[in-house]
Structure 1
């Protein structure tokens, strides 16, 4: 009887392993948001390959008051790419191989993890392959980080059904419960997270959500600044509400790009905000979503106040929250 039970258990174990190859438990990945570990030879990193990577990833993020790159990079030689390095969340392996290739793999050594592979037949070919796919590579890493943050926020998600504005607008967002309510009128929502790291402990990350009628779709992009200025004057006061309120910084022209939120046409605007007649200022990110079904524009805005520190990571968290929007 014991032999039969042992054989049955062994058979079950083998069958489970065979059917569960894709269920191997990987260790958790590590790494800061918007940071990429590049695996390549030191000689390649010092040459044209490394120069091209640094120039591409080092492009400055739009709308920040201090110069900050889209992605930070570090380099590790292939012979140094050992067990400890393999748990990095964002990795790019690039170099010379028998054939030119570009592909992406997820969760190879850890989870969540994104690994981009770029190969060329010689160094010149490697540079050519990287330049051909550089926009896709950057987008891959940024999207991966946004998804990671959304999954992280989902674990301690704020119950957004408690907010009248989100209920009235018929939308949901994956927001960390570190955000607290400032205002919720039913038409306008303001949430704030007090920052607690380093010198930024006096600062905050802020979320605004509201809607305006869709009047002329061809004029949406051109009206974004004027709409946010009206909202700032009405809802975001300074220390003297009569003379101080949030506006778009006049000395800096915001940049607007095409975007897609929840499958709908949208516009992403990045720029700087300031408080009129005061010295408070910082970066903002605005998603204006065209909701034709309900003849309206839904606006999500995130803005950061964090004096004297880099703000890329703070704004990227707001970006991840904005991109989590679901519209009924």
Structure 2
């Protein structure tokens, strides 16, 4: 929620915010913005509005300032304040901090989901694969086991909203040896294709299995999981020789101490509905990872 004057929202300040927050999330089959945004005027920012979880207060003030406050009116809550002495200065100040602001709001939502999941958490000591790999995760208890070999874990949550009631959210966890750290980035797609062929069959296991969609190049970003260097890859999966497809989110964590790569992958199958929220839940679970 953006707290700013209607005239500022209609002008350059609002345009800059909408362009930044409205940037499309990569790896989704349908266009969905990174953040959904709404505006309220300062005189309309009363008690009902103040319980919002993520709020940005922005506008002209006597001093140029940027700061963040938590749990001001409600809990959990993150409020970002952006001020400058004139409208051009406000735009400049926002542009200077826009990446940090987006990161702040996303981290806020990740923490909120992790806290929510911890209240209804699966006992991850029941999974042979997590025990063997020395990993713990905060996974909500709506996930059921599809496969747990000791080397490979596949969990599935059936989605019950709207058209997606035939769909599912899925978690995969496994490890591969760390052979050459300089080659990790280039090997991510090949590794997930190999795992898909071995463990994730289609309706005809002889000819169908999960692969990375060839028509869409995945995007990879630097990340940190449990204090360790990692790569975040977003793209689309499909089942070879079949019509099933959807987005995936892959975290490949460099575990030098144990000379291996830990891979957490989340993928969603939810035909005809928006998928950002489903993938975000998988992101929150991935970022809860603790490695022994």
Same fold (TM over 0.5): yes
What is the rounded CA distance, in whole Å, between the counterparts of 2:217 and 2:77 in structure 1? 36
Q: Does 1:52 align with 2:16?
A: yes
What is the rounded CA distance, in whole Å, between the counterparts of 1:295 and 1:131 in structure 2? 41
What is the rounded CA distance, in whole Å, between the counterparts of 2:14 and 2:220 in structure 1? 30
Higher Cα Rg, which structure: 1
Matched length: 292
> 241, 245, 250: which one pairs with 1:281?
245
Which runs of structure 2 are paired with 1:176-325 in the superposition (5 Å)?
A: 176-325=140-289
Give TM-score scaled by structure 2 length: 1.00
Q: Does 1:130 align with 2:94?
A: yes
Give CA-to-partner distance per residue, 1:115-166, whole Å, 9 cap, x none. 0000010000000000000000000000000010000000000000000000
Find the counterpart in structure 2 of residue 94 from structure 1.
58
What is the rounded CA distance, in whole Å, between the counterparts of 1:140 and 1:53 in structure 2? 15
Secondary structure of 1:130's aligned partner: helix
What is the rounded CA distance, in whole Å, between the counterparts of 2:2 and 2:211 in structure 1? 40
What is the rounded CA distance, in whole Å, between the counterparts of 1:290 and 1:69 in structure 2? 30
Which runs of structure 2 are paired with 1:101-116 in the superposition (5 Å)?
A: 101-116=65-80
What is the rounded CA distance, in whole Å, between the counterparts of 2:161 and 2:204 in structure 1? 28
Q: Does 1:144 align with 2:108?
A: yes
* Deviation, structure 1 residue 257: 0.7
What is the rounded CA distance, in whole Å, between the counterparts of 1:135 and 1:84 in structure 2? 28
What is the rounded CA distance, in whole Å, between the counterparts of 1:206 and 1:269 in structure 2? 16
What is the rounded CA distance, in whole Å, between the counterparts of 1:253 and 1:136 in structure 2? 26
Secondary structure of 1:279's aligned partner: coil
What is the rounded CA distance, in whole Å, between the counterparts of 1:84 and 1:254 in structure 2? 41
Find the counterpart in structure 2 of residue 119 from structure 1.
83
Q: Which contiguous aligned blocks of 4+ residues in structure 1 show a shift greater than 6 angstroms? A: none
Which runs of structure 2 are paired with 1:6-25 in the superposition (5 Å)?
A: none
Find the counterpart in structure 2 of residue 82 from structure 1.
46
What is the rounded CA distance, in whole Å, between the counterparts of 1:289 and 1:236 in structure 2? 21
What is the rounded CA distance, in whole Å, between the counterparts of 2:43 and 2:265 in structure 1? 45
Structure 2: gaps of 5 or more residues: none
* Deviation, structure 1 residue 199: 1.0
What is the rounded CA distance, in whole Å, between the counterparts of 1:201 and 1:269 in structure 2? 26
What is the rounded CA distance, in whole Å, between the counterparts of 1:272 and 1:67 in structure 2? 13
What is the rounded CA distance, in whole Å, between the counterparts of 1:43 and 1:309 in structure 2? 34
> 154, 169, 183: which one pairs with 2:118?
154
What is the rounded CA distance, in whole Å, between the counterparts of 1:263 and 1:309 in structure 2? 34
Structure 1: gaps of 5 or more residues: 1-36
Give CA-to-partner distance per residue, 1:214-239, whole Å, 9 cap, x none. 00000000000000000000000000
What is the rounded CA distance, in whole Å, between the counterparts of 1:78 and 1:327 in structure 2? 45
